[in-house]
Chains A and B, each alone.
Chain A
Amino acid sequence: MQIVNTETIPGATVVEVKGLVQGNTVRAKNIGRDIAAGFKNMVGGELKGYTELLTESRREALSRMMAQAEALGANAVVNVRFSTSAITSGASEMMAYGTAVVVQ
């Protein structure tokens, strides 16, 4: 499964468009991360725990998107975009969407 956020894949031609696929996830940060972040919020600096959280949710959203594409019989996803939204304070939704295609 090849995933790109461009419309074309060099050296491959899109032979069939299978449709829009998307994957999303909502992650809540845990208390341990909250305490560390609370301290970091005083002095500033990168919040490693939250960065990890974001990486995990991006992977999860991408893998769900890939699972959908696989179910449609596609072998690549092009034009992938990310969208995030905050649901309540402390939880955020990460969504990845793209077009599932068959390339040769």
Chain B
Amino acid sequence: MFAASSEAMSTADNVGLIINLVVYVGLPLLVLSIGWLIGRVQEQRHLSSLARREAELSGIEVCDLRSPPGFAGAQGRCELVCGEVVIASDVFKRWLFALKNIVGGESRTFKVLFDRARREALLKMKERALELGCNAVCNVRYDSSDIGGNAGGTQKKSSAMAVVLVSGTAWRREEA
């Protein structure tokens, strides 16, 4: 009778342990792996789309000079063009970064994230320049901000979003 109840207790303990394992180890691992998997697929897709669109728009010359050669005599209307983008990181990247924060050093994953955001914003700007019938953009400026993150310091977790705004002046460059 006593032995049987102790056996029942240990079975209950085992079930409790399994539930604890599932809740405290399994679920975070599941979330992390989903984040890693979808994040990776999306990153690859985004990088290849960036490469394709960059090749398409390579005819538009971009520089950050105030008045590049030929600008003073440019024909047609020049106009302010902007591109903006917000890109979120995934849970796996943030977890990696938390680990990286312990030892320090370059965070490659976040570097790639900001790189993607800048390239995407620049592409959007170039697309708008193309819509206006221009083939060059000068005086390009980058600006970044944080709309959803822990700006006020009120949230304990940073959501790590790359927010990039890029602006420039679109103009028509005469072909030499």
Contact = CB atoms under 8 A, between A and B. Distances in A.
A90 B78 contact: no
A104 B148 CA distance: 43
B152 A88 contact: yes
Contacts of B87: 44-47
Contacts of A42: 31, 34-35, 90-91
A54 B146 CA distance: 11
Contact of A89 (B42, B120, B141, B152): B152
A80 B82 CA distance: 11
Interface of B: 31, 34-35, 38-39, 42-43, 46, 66-67, 71-75, 77-80, 82, 84-91, 93, 113, 120, 138-139, 141, 143-152, 154-155, 159, 161, 163, 165, 167-169, 171
Interface of A: 2-11, 29, 34, 37, 40-47, 50-51, 53-55, 58, 62, 80-92, 94
7 contacts: A2-B77, A6-B67, A42-B31, A43-B39, A82-B141, A89-B150, A89-B152
